[in-house]
Amino acid sequence: QDVQTNRCWVVDCTSITRRDWTQIQTTIEGVIEQFNPRCIAVDSTGLGLVPTQLLQKRFGRRVVGVNFSRPIKAELATGLFQALADGMLKLQNRRDLVSDLYMLKRIVSSNGSVTFDADHDENGHADRAWALALAIYGIGRRSGQIVATGGTGNLAVPGSK
C-alpha cells in the first residue's frame, strides 16, 4: 500500500493447488519471507483452522485467522468491491483475479438477507478473489504489505508500486 496515495497493487499472486499441507506451508512461508508483511490474513474456516494455527505459531500476532461466516464474507466482499470502486486497488494485467471477481455472486434471499458465494470450476471457487478480499481486510487492520491465504492456498499481496 502506498501510504501517500492510499493505493494498492497486487505484486504477487501464487496459486497452489492439489498439494499437501507441507508444500503449501513452505510456499506460504517463502512468500512471507520475501515480502515481510505486517499482516497475514488467513481463511481459518474448517480445514483452514490447523494451517492458521501453524502459521500463528511460526509468525505470531501478524497472522489473523478469519472465519468465513456469512457476515464476514459480506464484509470481505463489500470491502473488496469498495476498494475497487474507490480506485484504491488497481488490478493491472491481472486477468486471473478479474475472472475470479466475476465469479463472486451477491445473493439476496426472500427475507432480504444478503450472502456472497461463488460458482465452482476447475480453478476453484473464486479463491484468488477471496484471498484478495482478505488482503484488503488486512490492510484495514494494519498498514503495510499484506499476505493473504484463502481456499486452495492462493496468495495475494497488495503493495506499493
CA 48, 107, 118, 156 dihedral sign is negative
pLDDT reported for residue 133: 92
DSSP the chain: -BTTTTBEEEEE-----S--HHHHHHHHHHHHHHH--SEEEEE-SGGGHHHHHHHHHHHGGGEEEE---HHHHHHHHHHHHHHHHTT-EE-TT-HHHHHHHHHEEEEE-TTS-EEEEE--BTTBSSHHHHHHHHHHHHHHHSSS-EEEEETTTEEEEEE--
| 10-residue averages of pLDDT along the chain (161 residues) | 70 79 86 87 90 92 91 90 87 84 90 86 80 86 55 48 38
pLDDT reported for residue 66: 93
The rounded distance, in Å, linking the Cα atoms of 51 and 24 is 9
pLDDT reported for residue 60: 94
The rounded distance, in Å, linking the Cα atoms of 77 and 109 is 17
pLDDT reported for residue 56: 94
pLDDT reported for residue 44: 93
Q: How far is CA 11 from CA 25, 52, 54, 94, in A?
A: 20, 23, 25, 10
